[in-house]
Amino acid sequence: MADPIENMTDWNQLKAMLDKKADETTGTKIDEAALLKHLHSRVKGQDTILQDVAKLIRLQAAKKQKDKPIANLLFLGPTGTGKTELAKAIAEYLFKDENAMLRFDCSELSGPESKNRLIGMPAGYISSEQGGQLTRPVMANPRRLILFDEIEKAYPPVFDLFLQLLGEGRLTEQGSGKVVNYTQCLFILTSNAHAEAIGKIQAEMTDYHEMLNAVKGELAEAKVFRPEILGRIDRVYVFRPLAGMVVAEIALLKISKLAREYGLEIEFVAPELIIRALMANEKVSRFGIRELERILADLFANQFVEAKEAGAKRVRVEVDEGNVRVTPAPNPASAS
């Protein structure tokens, strides 16, 4: 009996089209220079790391045969040095949306229920049909950056999931039994573990690669990570503490971001106000750069709202007898 679909299409042409589609979609071309420029626009004081990250992502994404995630990265260093900001910047560039990043705080994955939270309840249990917080979003959109903050705080059995994720790029959801593919994802793990010892190593060594090897040795001896987990990491990056001018640049970026949230563009910020914000941040330095955002909101948010309500689009942020003064700035087009 003849095959009923044998003459229904041009099979040679269809095969050629499918092969072309596979070539186009399996390997992804990344503009390394454009990616690096984007990372520099958001992350300050970590130039060596940014250059290597941009190169690694370009090379990994270009692979046509993928049997593991795009890359598995471990970010080490003290709070407030740009680890999470870099993850957001990568997600924004690769996936055109910072919200394509799934973020898990591992201090919240420290109990026996953590595994079920990530991959869903087993079949037969209440809520098993809802799936897991790590599986369902990737089923819906397989192109993700997945961030695990403070990885050392995770419940030990959760590390068994990491072995599968970072190695094979696959996980089985418990309730549905569906296999979820993570080979279009990029994983970033962060850790503040042994920050004091790592900081001492950083201070004593000027060569980055020697310092990196010493840090790996410190983590291995301290048994912070299981050897098989470290074996699945493509790169370990150690973030350096930020110097004064770098923090000032970050403050300016965050002031500009805060203004945009209120529909304003910044033309100028008085240096005295940046110093005031940095001094306030030093008093709560253990919270790092994260606390700087709250400090800046306290300083400027009210004035930004008032300026917006008054019809301003571009503003200057200055000091008037010790107080913050936000005034409209002429539009560049009208000024010219």
The structural architecture, per CATH, of the domain 24-238 is 3-Layer(aba) Sandwich (3.40)
**Predicted pLDDT of residue 333:** 59
Per-residue pLDDT at 332: 66
Contact 170, 182 (CB under 8 A): yes
**Nearest alpha-carbon partner for 252 in 296, 210, 218:** 296
Q: Can you give the pLDDT at residue 15?
A: 76
Structure pTM? 0.78
Q: Name the phi and psi angles at 284, rounded to 5.
A: -125, 40
Fold of 244-335: Helicase, Ruva Protein; domain 3 (1.10.8)
3-state secondary structure the chain: CCCCCCCCCCHHHHHHHHHHHHHHHHCCCCCHHHHHHHHHHHCCCCHHHHHHHHHHHHHHHCCCCCCCCCEEEEEECCCCCCHHHHHHHHHHHHHCCHHHEEEEEHHHCCCCCHHHHHHCCCCCCCCHHHCCCCCHHHHHCCCCEEEEECHHHCCCCHHHHHHHHHHCCEEECCCCCCEEECCCCEEEEEECCCHHHHHHHHHHCCCHHHHHHHHHHHHHHHCCCCHHHHCCCCEEEECCCCCHHHHHHHHHHHHHHHHHHCCCEEEEECHHHHHHHHHHHHCCHHHHHHHHHHHHHHHHHHHHHHHHHCCCCEEEEEEECCEEEEEECCCHHHHC
Which neighbouring-strand residues pair with 317?
Answer: 269, 326
| Tokens representing residue 20 in the block | 């072309």
Q: Write down the pLDDT at residue 126.
A: 80
- Please report the pLDDT score of residue 205 as a whole number: 83
Residues of the chain with pLDDT under 70: 1-4, 19-27, 65, 284-289, 332-336
Predicted confidence at residue 288, as pLDDT, reads 62
**In the chain, domain spans:** 24-238, 244-335
